[in-house]
Structure 1
């Protein structure tokens, strides 16, 4: 258990956009100090969860009807990026918990939402859309998941609900749609198999279920959601729950990486005065033109990624406020640019790591963790640049996109 003190918390929580950003910034020193322990645990320490909860950072997408104060996509970006400056694992869990909570609120009708967000502990939802295995049977009143396995269930150690992808079948067992089921984590087995070199504190373990009944009220169609047909009509007055589905699910995956990129640049510049360049006349790396070039280019890549993400976050918010579902081509463009922003961030961090020289090989070098976290963050299937570029290119060339996830 950590002996590091909690961050100071205000007596009254400021839930404004500026207040949430300021609170996230206030946690940075504490989260940095806990980073090694977080990586060792393979999940966020209880103290970190308490700090995030105290500032409302794990409930930024909880509907107002159920006691939350939902934020804009832009504020979501800014808060998670601030956490990413300190520890990508903390930012990752915050992003995935909030987007899964958003999904639960958006994908369910009023009855299902009441079951998840109503009486009882505050809902903290995580999830995985694509199952590795899911054997489902249609039964009276709902569905029986006879057996199922899902990987990379980020934040599951700290959740009380799990949103898991399943095939929706008819009474004869024919698959008629792809959906999600909301299951209490008390009915989910965590397999404790998260043992990785990057973002290791996210606790993204695999999970399984066996013979779990899920009522109709807590099962929803992903296909309908992707097209903007949300069952959450009782939340129609809240713009956040009208944001386009795949743009939301995709863009939030780059929020932690953006903060990580900013943190990597800060860490590089902080250590710069102490370094020379071996086998040259430069006793101070900060005086070398090659350093200036690399820092200039890396900073440009990070700021370009931020501009791209902010532009799309603002567009998503604007469409939702206007009650318009984002057009198909615009949704595809978000997915393309999510890949491009991730590519820019990874290139920037890798460039700074290269400029760090042979010392990067040391296990104790803090930049080592940043580099590994950045690499792992860039490998998620939804942010893969090559896939996203190909998908958008197919659309521009008049072909089908090759994926329903747009």
Structure 2
């Protein structure tokens, strides 16, 4: 893989802006063909090879790969802009792009240079997926690393297209006592995909369960999640690159709302596009567009989507600024990101549900594009990291002088 030289400081901001604009424009150019493949993607249960090729061709699966390894190394704001554009086309595509890029970021950030060279300088493109929390993981500390005797992980989004999998494991001492929570980077050839992804929403993301049996992982490919959450990253070779100083949990949380934002935008676009053809059954309104209730619904839904965008953009910019400053984002600000990501997800789901309800009985049709958006938006809003109630409670506990009740901040 070709190693690129860093931009000169005087040109860095201009180059980053140009790159961001190009990536967003490329993502937008894919919308028609991704929408055309949407049914096939859902039926397949993973992204078609053609879609992966399209994403790869525009650098949309290597946005968080370091420049030195040939990647885009984009800002969090650019990450948001690109993935939300893909979300306008198909939530499954946006979800895979979001999760692949954020886990690739983890691989670059959590681990040292030895692991980075394995992941990013191999013969295959560096596409990393993963799951932080195992359903089951039996490990032993052995000479030179860890042996995963048996492990099971669910919701491994994008794993069918991965070259590496980053899987959560307990870190144990020589006696087998759990001393920390960690992650292990494993070549995809050593991971078994269980092909159990059969769902009603985001069905093309291929978020299958996976298992591992008797796999040795060298110490260089083991990292502490606890240390990562506090910003104690092993990637000292990237210490001068701000993307790899971004706060851990804010990054892992905010990217989950990027596909949902695209869904909200698409829901409003499709509703308005089909509005001239609709009436309100069993009423005097031969044109739904003339009904005051429709004006109220569209006004409220659009406000919720715009508010969600403003929240996410504000936090994306704050995350970027904090990383660029060299000062790790403080605890309360990190908790606020989780709170507000939950609120943004709530707003987006409410907007989509409002527009879907305003569509009447046509929502029952599997061929109504708004039906799929409604299902995808509901599933997207159920991820544990973006759960509004959990995030509100966590932030409220902190403000009231209690412990947060979770280490994931």
TM interval, shorter chain, is: over 0.9
- From 187, 190, 194, the equivalent of 2:193 is 190
Aligned counterparts of 2:338 and 2:368: Cα–Cα separation in 1: 34
C-alpha displacement at 1:117, in angstroms? 1.2
Aligned counterparts of 2:162 and 2:18: Cα–Cα separation in 1: 22
Q: 1:336-347, aligned counterparts within 5 Å?
A: 336-347=339-350
Other-structure match for 1:125: 128
The TM-score with structure 1 as length reference comes to: 0.96
- From 204, 209, 212, the equivalent of 1:209 is 212
Aligned counterparts of 1:56 and 1:142: Cα–Cα separation in 2: 33
Aligned counterparts of 2:164 and 2:122: Cα–Cα separation in 1: 14
Given that 1:179 and 1:221 are in contact with CA atoms closer than 8 Å, whether structure 2 keeps it comes out as yes
- From 301, 304, 317, the equivalent of 1:301 is 304
Unaligned runs of 5+ in 2: 1-16
Q: 1:182-261, aligned counterparts within 5 Å?
A: 182-261=185-264
| Superimposed CA distance per residue, residues 212-247 of structure 1 (whole angstroms, 9 cap, x where no aligned partner) | 000000000000000010001100121100000000
Other-structure match for 2:322: 319
Runs (4+) off by over 2 Å: none
Other-structure match for 1:80: 83
Given that 1:15 and 1:69 are in contact with CA atoms closer than 8 Å, whether structure 2 keeps it comes out as no
Residues matched between the structures, number: 393
Aligned counterparts of 1:66 and 1:56: Cα–Cα separation in 2: 13
Aligned counterparts of 1:237 and 1:254: Cα–Cα separation in 2: 28
Other-structure match for 1:7: none
C-alpha displacement at 1:121, in angstroms? 1.4
Aligned counterparts of 2:42 and 2:187: Cα–Cα separation in 1: 26
Aligned counterparts of 2:137 and 2:213: Cα–Cα separation in 1: 10
Other-structure match for 1:94: 97
Q: 1:323-338, aligned counterparts within 5 Å?
A: 323-338=326-341
C-alpha displacement at 1:69, in angstroms? 2.3
CA RMSD of aligned residues (A): 0.8
Other-structure match for 1:39: 42
C-alpha displacement at 1:119, in angstroms? 3.0
C-alpha displacement at 1:112, in angstroms? 1.2
| Superimposed CA distance per residue, residues 83-139 of structure 1 (whole angstroms, 9 cap, x where no aligned partner) | 000000000000000000000000001111111112321211001000000000000
Other-structure match for 1:287: 290
Aligned counterparts of 1:270 and 1:285: Cα–Cα separation in 2: 12
Q: 1:386-401, aligned counterparts within 5 Å?
A: 386-401=389-404
Other-structure match for 2:371: 368
Q: 1:32-71, aligned counterparts within 5 Å?
A: 32-71=35-74
Other-structure match for 1:135: 138
SS at match of 2:366: coil
C-alpha displacement at 1:340, in angstroms? 0.1
- Quick check: 1:350 aligned with 2:353? yes
| Superimposed CA distance per residue, residues 152-209 of structure 1 (whole angstroms, 9 cap, x where no aligned partner) | 0000000000000000001100000000000001000000000000000000000000
Unaligned runs of 5+ in 1: 1-13
- From 112, 115, 119, the equivalent of 1:116 is 119
Other-structure match for 2:9: none
Aligned counterparts of 1:150 and 1:21: Cα–Cα separation in 2: 33
Q: 1:139-150, aligned counterparts within 5 Å?
A: 139-150=142-153
Given that 1:15 and 1:56 are in contact with CA atoms closer than 8 Å, whether structure 2 keeps it comes out as no
Given that 1:44 and 1:202 are in contact with CA atoms closer than 8 Å, whether structure 2 keeps it comes out as yes
Aligned counterparts of 1:104 and 1:160: Cα–Cα separation in 2: 12
Aligned counterparts of 2:296 and 2:19: Cα–Cα separation in 1: 39
Aligned counterparts of 1:21 and 1:255: Cα–Cα separation in 2: 13
Given that 1:95 and 1:252 are in contact with CA atoms closer than 8 Å, whether structure 2 keeps it comes out as yes
- Quick check: 1:262 aligned with 2:265? yes
